[in-house]
Amino acid sequence: MADPVYETALGASTRDRITLLGQDLAEDVMGTVGFGELAFWLATQRRPSPGETRVFEAVLAALADHGFTPTAIVTRLTYLSAPDSVQGALAAGLLGGGSRFLGVTEDCGRFLHAVLSEVDTLPDDDGGWDALALETVEECRAQKRFLPGLGHHVHKDGDPRTPRLFAIADEEGLRGPHLELFAAIGRVHPRVLGKTLPLNGAGVCGAALADLGLPLELLRGFALLARTAGLIGQLAEELRHPVANDIFLSVDLNNRSVPPDPHA
């Protein structure tokens, strides 16, 4: 009985050659294709245009690091506890990419796509987009559903990543329906919510990735790809200027014992 054959368009090796995406890895990819371009290519199995690469890499830059977030803190603390396991420290940080941090990228992309998939004809001007956005926000409010991509715990007056990513997408002619709807939500939501919330960076990244045609199921993966670089940076800084032990001791030396609360 013949051995099974497993086909792949990704990496494959012979004794003297490695191919990747139909290219000779050593001759055609290494030193020629940038990592962001390659990541896009691997996910879609089509080579991105220069404009698509620029938008995609802008998203990666936007999501790489955002200070002492829970993902950064847990990475540093895990490295403090197990300095022999860099992979464990990085994994600990990446496992924290969920609905509050990083996961918003996927949540927003999926949300916008779900709205657009129910529309027979897309709007062709701001008035039409605003009407669709208003209907969307009102429906979410009526159903008491969370609107992903709105609000930020630090950037109360506007996330600086958001207008920049819109501008880059505009410059490259890649402002598609997901970004249009997201922008419209930003314009109309105060009428429904009674307050103005910023469109956050994670949300606009999700809209941009969806407009690039990347798989919705993998949007969180791209956020994690970006944050991996940031967490490596966090570990590199921890080696030079350690703070993890101070974080640990600030909790360990400042806790107090209280009686059990079985009704909490």
pTM over 0.85: yes
Find, among 102, 53, 46, the residue nearest to 230 by Cα. 102
Cα 157–Cα 160–Cα 163 angle in degrees, nearest 5: 105
Q: How far apart are CA 25 and CA 230, in angstroms?
A: 26
For each of the domains in the chain, give its residue range(s) and CATH number, in order of start: 9-26+34-47 (no CATH), 51-247 (1.10.230.10)
The two structure tokens encoding residue 231: 């967490």
pLDDT value at 1 more than 80: no
Cβ neighbours of residue 112 closer than 8 Å, sequence gap 6 or more: 177, 178, 181, 182, 206, 207, 210
Task: Quote the pLDDT of residue 153.
Answer: 78
Tokens 């969180």 correspond to: 220
Q: Is 203 in contact with 105 (CB distance < 8 Å)?
A: yes
Mean pLDDT of 74-91: 96
Measure the CA–CA gap between 79 and 73, rounded to whole angstroms: 10
Look at residue 155 and tell me whether its pLDDT is greater than 90: no
pLDDT in tens, 193-209: 889 899 999 999 999 99
Classify each residue of 123-144 as buried b or exposed e, where b means 16 or more C-beta atoms within 10 Å of its C-beta. Answer: beeeeebbebbbebbeebeeee
Residues with Cβ within 8 Å of 209's Cβ and at least 6 positions away in sequence, in order, are 56, 59, 105, 109, 219, 222
The C-alpha atoms of residue 113 and residue 107 are separated, in whole angstroms, by: 10
Largest CA distance in the chain: 70
What is the reported pLDDT for 264? 67
pLDDT tens per residue across span 44-82: 999 999 999 999 999 999 999 988 989 999 999 999 999
- The overall average pLDDT reported for the chain is 92
Tens digit of pLDDT for each residue in 107-140?
Answer: 999 999 999 999 999 999 999 999 999 999 999 9
Q: What is the DSSP letter of 100?
A: T
pLDDT class of 154 with cuts at 50, 70, 90: confident
Query: 218-260 pLDDT, tens per residue?
Result: 999 999 999 999 999 999 999 999 999 999 999 999 999 999 9
pLDDT of 89 higher than 90: yes
Nearest to 204 by CA among 153, 167, 156: 167
